Amino acid sequence: MSSVFKAACVQNCAVPDVDANLKVTRRLTRDAAAAGASLICLPEYFSGLETDGSKVHPAAFPEASHPVIPAFAEDARELGVWVLLGSLGVTTQDGRINNRGYLIDPTGRVCARYDKIHMFDVDLGEGKVYRESATIAPGDQAVVAQTPWGGLGLSICYDLRFAALYRSLAKAGASMLAVPAAFTKMTGEAHWHVLNRARAIENGCFVIAPCQYGTLDGGSEAFGHSLIIDPWGRVLADGGDDEGFIVADIDIAEVEKARSRIPALTHDRPFTLVEPAQAAE
């Protein structure tokens, strides 16, 4: 298989109505496939989301009866593409919810799952408080999914701020990093582009980051600007702040080229942290 393919990010503004979101995102997925994309990535909670003060309420179902998974499995088979369901709300036996991503192959098979590790529990000021852990249970396993083009490191939204996760994914074989998100507008304006470019540059990886846009039910705002970034940190496509999709060529050979120019992944060294009192002696 060629090392060059097209990847796409779908960008939507989810409402609480799952059927309405499916109508929009399945249409955009088909449009992205028609534009030549072989890997199509959707945002965090693209199938349903509302906020209530500090709490996040995704549309959630048990995995076995989740309506979104078979819908996109059908699309993946029909279109002959790989689909990353950025994340879905998945209820567990103890009544909690996982923020879980799924990678579906062109046969319609779920070939990887990832539960978001880092919870967005922050106070941004101006009354903007978020407590993701109030409704969502964190995961504890990092995942590199295998694709025909190389390893795809899975992550979700707030994970983006934890560089060590992506370092581990790259060292475990990821040549691409997926960052599906519903990044807030306030933090997105300040940090979204910088952090995604940094994760690409640090690890010599492509970054594929689909993000929701617009005002969500409950008043929270998502930043949009879905991104596809190459291993040198160049932004190949930016989704702006409206509904749609972006497509860019991914040449996996660029990963080795970037890593050979700056082989930082091979230069990590162990070190000891010296306490301030010791350093002064």
Please state, for a pLDDT cut of 70, what percent of the chain lies above it.
98
Tokens of 192: 């979204």
pLDDT one-digit tens code per residue, 95-139: 889 999 999 999 999 999 999 999 988 888 777 778 888 889 999
Whether 128 sits among the annotated catalytic residues: the reply is no
* Residue from 9, 13, 41, 157 carrying the catalytic annotation: 157
Domain boundaries, the chain: 4-280
The per-residue pLDDT for 121 is 85
Q: What pLDDT shows up at residue 92? A: 85
Reported pTM: 0.95
pLDDT of residue 53: 72
Asked if the model's pLDDT at residue 280 lies above 80, the reply is no
What pLDDT is stored for residue 276 in this prediction? 83
**pLDDT at 71 (0 to 100):** 98
What average pLDDT does this structure show over 189-194?
98
Active site (annotated) includes residue 116: yes
Range with lowest mean pLDDT among 41-50, 122-131, 230-239:
122-131
- What is the per-residue pLDDT across 60-72, written as a single tens digit (0 to 9) for each? 999 999 999 999 9
Q: From the candidates 116, 132, 211, 243, which is the catalytic residue?
A: 116
Q: How far apart are CA 228 and CA 24, in angstroms?
A: 21
Find the mean pLDDT for residues 250-273. Answer: 97
Q: Can 157 be counted among the known catalytic residues?
A: yes
How much is the pLDDT for 77? 98
Residue of 6, 9, 13, 44 marked active site: 44
Q: Which CATH code fits 4-280?
A: 3.60.110.10
Averaged over 62-89, what is the pLDDT?
98
The interaxial angle of helices 18-34 and 68-79, nearest 10 deg, is 20
- pLDDT greater than 90 at residue 279: no
